[in-house]
Chain A
Amino acid sequence: MAIFTLNINGKKQEVDVDPSTPMLWVLRDHLNLVGTKYGCGIAQCGACTIHMDGTATRACMLTVSSVGNSEITTIEGLSEEGDHPVQQAWLEVDVPQCGYCQAGQIMTASALLAKNPNPSDEEIEMAMNGNICRCGTYTRIKKAVKLAANS
C-alpha cells in the first residue's frame, strides 16, 4: 500500500492503495465516484473513459501510480450542473437506453470536441470507436456529438 495524492475534478484527493490499482477502482471503491463504469477491464469497451490532462483515457488500465500530478476529470467533474454542451446534447437527442456506457461515451466525445470543434462523421466515428454501446445507440450518439459541436 502507498499513499497517493491525486488531482481529481479540481480537488486534491488522498488515497492509500496498492500502487497497481487501476484508477477505475480508485475512483469507484475509494473515492465514491461511480460514474466511471467497469465494462471489460482491458481497455476494449470504453465504459471507464476519463480525461487525463484533457485526453480521453481508459481508467481500467491506468494504474494509480502512473497518474502523478496529472489533472483527472471524471463524468462527475465534467460540469458543475450537468450542463456541459455534450451532456445537454445527449439529453436533447435522448440518447440513452440502458445508459451504462453513456458516461464513457460522453467523456470520449467531450475530449474529441475540445481538440476538434467541428469533426466530420468519419472523425467522430474514429474517435468514438473504442466505446461500445451494447444497446445500439450509435446513430443517436453521432447526432448528439454533431449537435454539441454546433452549439
Chain B
Amino acid sequence: MTLVKTKIGRRAFIRNTGLASGGLVIGFSWLASCKMTPEQVSSLPKEWFELNGFLKVGDNGMVTIMSPNPEIGQNIKTAMPMIVAEELDVAWKNVIVEQAPLNTDIFTRQLAGGSQSIRQGWESLRMAGATAKQMLKEAAAQAWGVSANEITTKEGILSHEASGNSAGYGEMASAAASIEVPEEVQLKETKDFSIIGTETKNVDGKKIVTGQPLYGLDVYKEGMLTAMIVHPPAFGMTYKGMNADTVKSMPGIKDVFHFEVYPEGIEKQWSDQGGIPELVAIVGDSTWECMQAKKALEVEWEQTSKAESTAYHEEELLALLEKPTETPARKDGDVEAAFKNAAKIVESTYSAPYLAHNTMEPMNFFAHVTPEKAELLGPIQTPEFAEKTVAARLGMPVEKIDIMMTRMGGGFGRRLYGPFVIEAAVISQKMNAPIKLVYTREDDMTQGTYRPSYKVKYKAGLDADGNLIAWHVRGAGTNDSLIFEDRFPAGAVDNYLAEKHSLNTNVTTGAWRAPRSNFIAGAEQAFMDEVAEASGKDPIEFRLELFDRAINNPVGDPKKNDYDPERYAGVLKLVKEKSDWANSNGKARGVSAYFCHDSYVAQVLDLEDGGGDMPRVEKVFCAVDCGIVINPLGAKNQIEGGIIDGVGHSTFSAMSFNDGKPEQSNFDRYRLIRHSEAPKNIEVHFVDNGIDPTGLGEPSLPPVVAALSNALYKATGRRYYNQPFINERPPLVG
C-alpha cells in the first residue's frame, strides 16, 4: 500500500462546514442536465451526500462522479471517473457521471490540451476516490465500534470480517459526510485494479446514438436569440463601415451592429490568440434568418497590414532554410567538420501546408449576460482563461461569470482559443438577451488559428561503415519555430546541430493536434528512412543502433535529452514483432516511431497492392507505451483516430491563401479523408509496464505520416516530401 498525503487539489477535499452538519447536498443541476436511462431512474437515491468535490454518494449506494475536464472526444469523461471509482471501490454500473462546471476552487486543471488530462489528474482523481472510501470506512468503524483498519471494501460494500458486520456505501454515506477529511490515504497497488484496465464503454454513448442534446449547438433556451458574426474576408483587413439598414428590416432580424471584441487596453489571456479585434454581429430569431441576412449584408473592409499569399509564405520559409541562426537551439560536436569527413551525405527538404482544425461542430457559445451575472454555456477547451477575459471585457468580477462546458463536437486544439466566448458575451450584453452565437462552417474555416505551415531541411553524414556521424536540422514555420532540439536523434549522434526560425505572418496560427510534432515527426522519420537506406541497414535496426548509443553512451548531458531511449526502442521492438517485420508478404511497408506528450509510439504501415501512385493503407500495426492504460477500449479508439487523422491530413488536406484570403472555406474545396480512403485495418498493442499514465490523444498521429511516406517510397520508388501527398503524384503523361 502507498500512503499519500492528500495535498493535491486539497480544497476539493475540504468540505463546506455548512454542509458537513447534515451532509445533505441539494441542488446541482445534474437532474436537469442529463436524462437518465430508465434503469437508472428507478434506482435514484432519495438523498445525496457529498464526500468531496469530485463525488457524492446516494443513500442507496449510487455514486455520482464529476468529470472535471472538458470532453472533446478524447473520452476522459469515461476515463477520469473510472480512476475515481477504482480508488473508491464502487461497482462501475452504480456510477453516474456528470460534467463538472468550471470551479477553480475544487479542480486544479480544467483544461483539455496537450494530452494532459489523465497525466495531470491521475493523483488527484485517485485521491478523491481513496479519501471518500476512507471516510466511509471511518463512519462504519464508528457505527460498529471497530477499527477502520480492519474494514475492507469491495464494489461499494464495507465489511468487517471479525464482527460479521457489513453495509453498503449508501447506508454509511450520511455519517461519512461528517467525518473529518483524512490527512493521508492509502492508494491501491496497480495489481489490485479492477476498473482501470477494463474495456469500458463511453458514458455518453446512448445519448450520442439517440441524438440527445449534448453539444453547444444544441443549446436552446427560453427567449434565446441566434447571433452570427461577419469577420474580415482576408487576413490583414479590418472593419471600415457598413450599411446595415436594408438588412435590419429582413424577416426575423433584431439587430445588426459593429462591435469591438478586444478594445484597446483589455487584458488578454493566451487563449485569446487569433481573436479578431472588431467584428459585425447579426442577431435574429432563427439560424436561417441570420444566414440570409449574413449573405445580404455588405461590409466595407480596409487593408491595414500585408495581404499575404501562400506563394509568399513558401518563398520566405525556403529563404529561412538557407539562413544559419545566430544561436543554434542545440549544438553537439562539430557537424561541419564531420560532413567533410563523411563517406556519404544525405540531404532532403520537407514541407507541409497550413491546416484548419475543422471540428465537425463549428464554433458556438451560449451567453446570457445581465447586470447581475453572466451565464455562459458551450464548447471550450480552456474555460478558466475564457472566464478571465469575459470578466475583463464585461467589466464584471470573475465571481459573477459562470461557465458550463458542453460535450464538444471535436477540439483538436481549435477550442483552446476562445474569442467566440468573449464575442457571445459582448453580443448578449449589447442585446440584453440570451443569445447563442453560431459560426457557419465558412466562418469557422476562414477565421484562422490554423496549424502553421512548415518547412524543414535535414542533412546527415555517414562514415564508411554506414554509421551516423553528423545530423543537421534547420526548420522554419509561420509564427512557430518548429524544432524540438532535445528530442531524438539528439543524444545519439556525436555531431548534432539544430536550428530554428519563425516567420512572422498575419495569418493567425495555433496549436493543432500534436503541435509541431504533427509535422516534424513525419519529416524526421522519413529522413531517417533515407539515411538508413544510404547506410545499407534495415530501417528498424538502424534506429535501434541509435537508441543503443543513447542508452549506453549518450552524447551530451543525458538529462537534457527529452526521451527515454529504452522505452523508445521498446515500442519499435514490439511493433517489429507484431508486424512480423521481416516478412512483409510483398506489401509496400514503412516504419516510423516518435515520442511526444510523454508517450512512445511505433508503427508499421502496409499499403494495398495495385493502388498506383496513391495506394490505400491496408493495415497499420501500432505499438504504444503510454504507461498504465485506463480504458483500453477508449484508448484504442484514440490511437485509431490519430492514425486516420494523420494519414488523412498528410494525404489530402491543405489551406492556402491568395492576397490574405483563404482559398478554402468549406468541405467542397478542403478535402478531409473519407470512409473509402481510410486505413482498412489498425492493430494496436500497448506496452504493459505499470508506469503512471502519459498522453494518449495525440501521440499516434505524428509518426504515421512517415510510416505512410516510407511505404509510399517502397510502392512507387519515389520519396514523398511535400504534404499533402496527393499532390506529389507525378503528372499524367500522354
Q: Residues of A at under 8 Å CB distance from B? A: 1, 17-18, 20-22, 25, 28-30, 32-42, 44-45, 47, 74-76, 82, 87, 90-91, 94, 96-103, 106, 121-122, 124-126, 128-129, 131-142
Contact = CB atoms under 8 A, between A and B. Distances in A.
A139 B642 CA distance: 12
A68 to B, nearest CB: 19
A124 B676 CA distance: 9
A32 B75 CA distance: 27
Contacts of A102: 208-209
B210 interface: yes
B577 to A, nearest CB: 22
Measured as residues with beta carbon below 8 angstroms from the partner, the interface class of chain B is 35 or more
B287 A139 contact: no
Nearest to B674: A129
Contacts of B633: 94
A87 B674 CA distance: 21
A38 B667 contact: no
Contacts of B291: 41
Contacts of B194: none
A42 B667 contact: yes
Contact of A94 (B202, B362, B643, B645): B202
A122 B675 CA distance: 10
B71 to A, nearest CB: 8
A133 B407 CA distance: 16
A132 B667 contact: yes
B407 A99 contact: yes
Contact of A21 (B202, B211, B288, B440): B288
Nearest to A75: B211
Given A40-B666, A74-B211, A76-B211, A101 B674 contact: no
Interface string B175-201: 000000000000000000000000101
17 contacts: A18-B289, A18-B292, A30-B286, A34-B211, A34-B218, A34-B220, A35-B210, A41-B441, A82-B206, A91-B201, A94-B201, A96-B205, A97-B641, A100-B215, A134-B412, A136-B643, A139-B679
Contact of B209 (A1, A90, A121, A137): A90
B288 A125 contact: no
Contact of B360 (A1, A90, A134): A134
B210 A136 contact: no
Interface of B: 72-75, 199, 201-202, 204-206, 208-215, 217-218, 220, 226, 251, 286-289, 291-292, 358-362, 407-412, 440-441, 633-634, 637-638, 640-645, 648, 666-668, 672-676, 678-682
A47 to B, nearest CB: 6
Given A29-B288, A40-B666, A98-B360, 5 more contacts: A38-B362, A91-B201, A96-B73, A133-B360, A134-B358
* Chain A interface main SS type: loop
Contact of B410 (A33, A91, A128, A135): A135
A18 B251 contact: yes
Contacts, number: 186
Contacts of B681: 139
Contact of B211 (A25, A38, A103, A141): A103
Contact of B675 (A21, A33, A106, A138): A138
Nearest to B206: A82
A136 B645 contact: yes
Contacts of A41: 291, 440-441, 666
A121 B177 CA distance: 56
B211 A35 contact: yes
A92 B215 CA distance: 23
A135 B217 CA distance: 18
A103 B674 CA distance: 16
A91 B440 contact: no
Contact of A96 (B202, B359, B648): B202
Contacts of A33: 211
A32 B220 contact: yes
Nearest to B441: A40
